[in-house]
């Protein structure tokens, strides 16, 4: 005699198990159909194997994680410094990228964004294209040929009509912007179409050359720092991929989907979305980097690394200036990097080492507090 869904629910509900295990249990039990006696038996065995699978108290999970990530890491070294294109955009992959992630660099070597679009823009290629031009930084060299007219002490910009239409700009607009940024005389030529003439404030040779240099750095349209935008169709919708990352500015643009837009710059995620998002993104970036190399590392190890990096409310690197450098024990810090400096500083300050951790006890030759070594007898 099989039991009803309600009975199963009530029997499962008070179990102290993770949600997805309970979900699988319920689904399987419903599919097969069991009696109450059988379900009790199943639950009992499930609880036993769950407990068996749990990590034991006093287990050195950090060391296990370090080895589990480190071993595949050695295989990465052999075929590293490779760049591979995602949608024609180069991104750092392999070991250099992994190092970048655990070092919590403020700026990755190849920042890149994945911009999801709102439905209306995601289904229409022209609208997506238009949005891409809103985001991609437009500089003067994209639009015009620049000639330095030494005889008349001025710069002549011959604008390409085609690119102007493509990027939805008009000469007056450009002239205005140049005037604003450079604070010099800028006027649109009356006789020749699509020509802008820039005259320096003082008619000196030096001023003119400086102006010719400076004009290249002015962002006429789009977001400064976004070097390129590529449109790609992912399944049903168009997605924008950018070289360069400016999360805050991009989210302000109408048409981008603020809930699905990502960047590979973890520092930026932390600033805009907070610590929990940074943690998630460290996990995602690290697993993606490893998976791309065909390496499978259990996600629990990466989650542990990510949690320890984010546990103080900011993204800290693993290493001398982060986790390892903030250990309480002098010996533990000295065992990692710059040994002499740590010992010298500690000696000058008269620091004490309480010998509570693993590393320092190995150094002084005592039993370590791990596993059975961490169990004490207390008499009352």
Please report, for residues 97, 141, 201, 214, 261, the alpha-carbon distance to residue 219 in angstroms, rounded to integers and kept in the order given. 30, 11, 21, 11, 23
| Beta-bridge partner residues of 154 | 149
Give the footprint of other proteins on residues 268-297 (CB under 8 A).
Answer: 269, 271-277, 280-281
> What is the smallest separation between the CB atom of 138 and other proteins, expressed in angstroms?
21
Site string for other proteins, 145-184 (x = CB under 8 A): ----------------------------------------
Q: Are 301 and 308 in contact (CB under 8 A)?
A: no
Of 165, 311, 328, 338, the one binding other proteins (CB under 8 A) is 311
Paired tokens of 118 = 């709102």
Paired tokens of 212 = 């010719």
Strand order in the sheet with 262-263: 228-234, 237-243, 112-115, 262-263
Paired tokens of 220 = 């006429």
> What is the smallest separation between the CB atom of 24 and other proteins, expressed in angstroms?
9
Q: Binding to other proteins by residue 23, rule CB under 8 A?
A: yes
Of 156, 220, 251, 363, the one binding other proteins (CB under 8 A) is 251
Q: Within the chain, where are the H helices?
A: 5-13, 19-32, 36-53, 61-78, 94-102, 119-122, 125-135, 140-143, 161-166, 171-182, 205-214, 247-251, 266-273, 275-292, 299-310, 330-336, 339-349, 358-364
Please report, for residues 89, 90, 162, the alpha-carbon distance to residue 110 in angstroms, rounded to integers and kept in the order given. 9, 7, 31
How far apart are alpha carbons 181 and 177 in whole angstroms? 6
How far apart are alpha carbons 331 and 357 in whole angstroms? 9
- Judge residue 254's burial from the number of C-beta atoms within 10 Å of its C-beta, 0-12 exposed, 13-18 middle, 19 or more buried: exposed
Which listed range, 15-23, 188-196, 340-348, 356-364, lies at the site for other proteins (CB under 8 A)? 15-23
Which listed range, 102-110, 248-256, 321-329, 363-371, lies at the site for other proteins (CB under 8 A)? 248-256
Q: Binding to other proteins by residue 137, rule CB under 8 A?
A: no
Which one, 182 or 258, has the nearer CB to other proteins? 258
Of 170, 299, 328, 344, the one binding other proteins (CB under 8 A) is 299
Of 64, 258, 295, 370, the one binding other proteins (CB under 8 A) is 258
Q: Binding to other proteins by residue 240, rule CB under 8 A?
A: no
Of 314, 326, 337, 374, the one binding other proteins (CB under 8 A) is 314
Of 97, 154, 262, 333, the one binding other proteins (CB under 8 A) is 262
- Judge residue 295's burial from the number of C-beta atoms within 10 Å of its C-beta, 0-12 exposed, 13-18 middle, 19 or more buried: middle
> What is the smallest separation between the CB atom of 267 and other proteins, expressed in angstroms?
14
Which listed range, 61-69, 165-173, 307-315, 372-380, lies at the site for other proteins (CB under 8 A)? 307-315
Q: Binding residues for other proteins, per CB under 8 A?
A: 18-23, 251-254, 258-260, 262, 269, 271-277, 280-281, 299-300, 303, 307, 310-314
């Amino acid at each position: 005699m099989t039991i009803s869904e309600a009975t199963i629910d009530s029997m499962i509900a008070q179990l102290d198990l993770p949600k997805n295990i309970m979900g699988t249990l319920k689904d399987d039990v419903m599919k097969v159909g069991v009696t109450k006696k059988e379900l009790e038996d199943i639950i009992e065995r499930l609880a036993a194997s769950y407990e068996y699978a749990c990590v034991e108290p006093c287990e050195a999970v950090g060391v296990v994680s370090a080895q589990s990530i480190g071993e595949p890491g050695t295989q990465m070294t052999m075929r590293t410094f490779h760049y591979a294109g995602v949608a024609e955009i180069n991104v750092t992959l392999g070991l250099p990228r992994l190092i970048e992630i655990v070092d919590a660099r403020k700026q990755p070597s190849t920042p890149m964004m994945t911009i999801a679009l709102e439905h209306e823009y995601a289904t229409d290629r022209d609208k997506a294209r238009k949005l891409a031009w809103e985001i991609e930084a437009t500089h003067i060299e994209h639009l015009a040929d620049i000639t330095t007219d030494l005889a008349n002490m001025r710069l002549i910009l011959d604008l390409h009509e085609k690119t102007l239409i493509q990027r939805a700009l008009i000469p007056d607009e450009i002239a205005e912007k140049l005037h604003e940024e450079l604070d010099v005389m800028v006027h649109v030529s009356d006789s020749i179409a699509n020509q802008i003439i820039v005259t320096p404030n003082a008619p000196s040779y030096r001023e003119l050359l400086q102006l010719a240099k400076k004009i290249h750095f002015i962002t006429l349209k789009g977001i400064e720092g976004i070097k390129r935008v590529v449109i790609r169709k992912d399944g049903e919708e168009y997605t924008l991929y950018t070289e360069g990352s400016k999360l805050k500015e991009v989210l302000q643009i109408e048409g981008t989907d603020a809930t699905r837009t990502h960047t590979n710059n973890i520092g930026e995620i932390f600033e805009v979305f907070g610590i929990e998002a940074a943690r998630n993104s460290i996990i995602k970036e690290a697993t993606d980097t490893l998976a791309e190399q065909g390496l499978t590392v259990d996600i629990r190890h990466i989650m542990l690394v990510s949690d320890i990096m984010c546990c103080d409310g900011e993204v800290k690197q693993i290493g001398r200036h982060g986790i390892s450098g903030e250990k309480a024990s002098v010996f533990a810090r000295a065992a990692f990097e710059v040994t002499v400096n740590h010992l010298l500083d500690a000696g000058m300050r008269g620091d004490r080492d309480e010998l509570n951790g693993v590393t320092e006890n190995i150094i002084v030759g005592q039993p370590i507090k791990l596993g059975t070594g961490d169990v004490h007898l207390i008499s009352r």
